[in-house]
Amino acid sequence: MTRRNLLAATATLAATLALATPALAQGRGEIVMGAWGGGTSATWRTGVGEPFTARTGMPVRINEWPDPEPQLRAQAANPQYNMAIATYFNAANLHRDGLLETFDAKDIPALATVPDAYVLKAPDGKVIGIPAYFQYYGIAVNTDLAKTSDFQSWNDLAAAKWKGKLSVTRPIYASTYDLVMFAKIAGGDEKNIAPGLPLMKALGANAVNVYNSMAQLNTLLTRGEVTAAPYYVTRVWGLKEQGAKNVDFVLPKEGGLMLPYLLIVPKNAKHRDAYMAFLNFQLEPQQQLKMLDLSGYLPFNSTAQLEKKDVDRIGMPLKDLLARLYQPDWEVVARTHKERIDLVEQLLSR
């Protein structure tokens, strides 16, 4: 069965179930989810929220925000959300401060489809959030201004010919993603970031600006105002699907940084039946593949079968891609986050 047929069959089944299940949903509550704006919120609304409501009768409301941590911290005494999409380091920070619910793996049956290496756990073995999907970090290139072969290594970002032609993300992310990846390829890791500092400094010296949002870098790249920048693969795929002909993505020879995302539940969130059902639902193959179709997010469910077009877009089978992606210890990244933001701010300000 092709994915298109599978999704069509799933939609038909969901519509049938929707006629039978609204009464079942009474008293079980709703999902109120926080998500990054733009493509992320739209993907969750179409790929998971609407099918979940069709199957269960439980409504799903998705609100947009720039960052999950400030929102959830501000509402800690009385959480208004019972679901949020977050990075692993967001989740590690929030859990350390006692702001998240944790789960027994047996209570999330769909979690059995996710390789254990991608499950974030607390010291007591409880699960912190439920893996949703992943993407990865490499280099975006404007092909009117450079060739992809010019950026086959992360170290190519330091070349003198790119002075004033690159862009770099805000310190909150450069300290978390760029610096960790640069340390890894230079012989360090997330515990020892000193080897990555020279490349971080060189990238800052070559950057014409610090981009503040993905929308801003999308514009800078497509207009040719910057030649290249470390960036997210899904954003480049999205630009190409929207018709951009002059932007491409490079996974450097040293590999890329895996960027996994979790669904997290604030401590004392309302409507447990609803959020437990939603956590399991989003890991089903149909939803995982739908989010891949919508936004390029790659599935954690090991039973979700990619089609040839997906493998072609990645450039290799999924197992080969995973072997080329670095998965740091996100607890270490979270614990050192503030001091490293300060360090990168100092480097970029110079």
C-alpha triplet 279, 288, 17: angle, nearest 5°:
65
Q: What is the largest CA-CA distance in the chain?
A: 66
CATH number of the domain encompassing residue 220:
3.40.190.10
Q: For residue 4, give both structure tokens.
A: 């298109």
What average pLDDT score do residues 37-50 get?
91
pTM equals 0.86
What average pLDDT score do residues 287-315 get?
95
What average pLDDT score do residues 266-281 get?
97
Kindly state whether residues 113 and 207 are assigned to the same domain. Answer: no
Kindly state whether residues 232 and 337 are assigned to the same domain. Answer: yes
How confident is the model at residue 67, as a pLDDT?
A: 86
Mapped onto helix, strand or coil, the DSSP state of residue 39 is helix
Kindly state whether residues 77 and 20 are assigned to the same domain. Answer: yes
Kindly state whether residues 210 and 301 are assigned to the same domain. Answer: no
Number of domains in the chain: 2
Kindly state whether residues 43 and 113 are assigned to the same domain. Answer: yes
How confident is the model at residue 178, as a pLDDT?
A: 98
Kindly state whether residues 215 and 299 are assigned to the same domain. Answer: no
Kindly state whether residues 295 and 219 are assigned to the same domain. Answer: no
What average pLDDT score do residues 213-231 get?
96
Confidence of residue 22 (pLDDT cuts 50, 70, 90): very low
Kindly state whether residues 116 and 239 are assigned to the same domain. Answer: no
Nearest to 183 by CA among 19, 60, 343, 9: 343
Q: Give, in order, the Cα–Cα distances in Å from 314 to each of 9, 32, 135, 211, 293.
A: 26, 33, 11, 26, 13
Confidence of residue 129 (pLDDT cuts 50, 70, 90): very high
Kindly state whether residues 182 and 278 are assigned to the same domain. Answer: no
Kindly state whether residues 87 and 170 are assigned to the same domain. Answer: no
Kindly state whether residues 191 and 274 are assigned to the same domain. Answer: no
Q: What DSSP string describes 59-119?
A: -EEEEEES-HHHHHHHTTTS-S-SEEEEEHHHHHHHHHTT-B-EE-GGG-GGGGGS-GGG-
Which structural domain range is residue 25 located in? 3-134+259-325
Distance CA 138, CA 201 (A): 18
Kindly state whether residues 253 and 331 are assigned to the same domain. Answer: yes
What average pLDDT score do residues 179-189 get?
98
